[in-house]
Amino acid sequence: MRHDTLADGWMYTGDLAVIDDEGYGRVVGRAKDMIIRGGENIYPREIEEFLFRHDSIEDVQVIGVPDDRFGEEVCACVRVRAGKNISESDVIAFCRGQIAQYKVPRYIRFMGEFPMTVTGKVQKNVLRDIIAAQLSEER
């Protein structure tokens, strides 16, 4: 273990957690995945868990993409369940009134697959670069 991962008896893993009123902790995401939009901290995992409730969504990855006004904007990268149809406006309408307005994705991108590591984890950094490049070309 590297010495710089220990401080004051704590091991820093990069996970973000919250402790509730009863003293129980739960992991809410990864520090490097957190989106900061106009000063608000947004945890992608929270939005992903909400979007998984939609019956047309097979898989979803939420990332922050660069934005001139807010610093970052929320982008939901969606894999649609086989035999289902869903539009960008459907995803946004599903979110409105159910999650905080600043957490509603500004961008929705439909994808056939996500960039993966050899161990099967989504490479959010690669996904972020791909989407940022697409958005840059569109401007």
DSSP secondary structure string for all residues of 39-61: TEEE-HHHHHHHHTTSTTEEEEE
Domain residue ranges in the chain: 33-138
Residues 6+ apart with CB under 8 A from 80: 56, 57, 58, 86, 110
**Res. 124: pLDDT tops 80:** yes
The C-alpha R_g of the chain, in whole angstroms, comes to 16
Which superfamily, per CATH, for 33-138? ANL, C-terminal domain (3.30.300.30)
pLDDT in tens, 17-61: 677 888 877 766 566 688 999 999 999 999 999 999 999 999 999
Both structure tokens of 84: 């289902």
Averaged pLDDT score across all residues of the chain: 89
Instruction: Identify which has the larger pLDDT, 101 or 33.
Output: 101
pTM passes above 0.85:
no
Distances from the Cα of 113 to the Cα of 50, 81, 128, angstroms: 20, 12, 14
**Res. 107: pLDDT tops 60:** yes
Task: Give pLDDT, residue 1.
Answer: 45
